[in-house]
Amino acid sequence: MLNRPTRAICALLVLTTAAHAQPSTSRGQISVAQVRAMLDQAATNPTARQTLTAYLAGTGEAAGWLLDAARSRPPCPRQLTLDAEQARDAIASAAATAATETPATPLIVRDMLKRAGCHLTE
């Protein structure tokens, strides 16, 4: 999970990307609706593209760091990867009606770990 200042910065960046910004979850997490808005706007809006890049880079870097810090042996046979299309696929299963209350980051990280073949213990 991203630390509180990083989440706050990402949330602020997300909220400033669109005239009709999507809300965070009621717990202040970056929502699926916010990530969908960034993904949809990234091709035509430089601010949305920059925000999306920062969010995905931060999410991927944090997940990689956590794995490095927590492991005694490599838990993932393949390298962690994350791009806009992979993020879009990861959040696609979230229902549109729940998109403003569904945190996006756990869905994206879970998908990233699954694609890398990571085997983590609970």
For 63-107, write each residue's pLDDT tens digit.
888 887 776 566 788 888 999 999 999 999 887 778 888 999 999
Query: Taking Cα atoms as reference points, which of 43, 58, 67 lies closest to residue 117?
Result: 67
Task: Answer positive or negative: Cα dihedral of 104, 109, 110, 111.
Answer: positive
Residues in the chain: 122
pTM score, whole prediction: 0.72
For residue 114, give every residue at least 6 positions away whose Cβ sits within 8 Å of its Cβ, in sequence order, or none.
none
CA–CA dist 38, 24 (Å, integer): 13
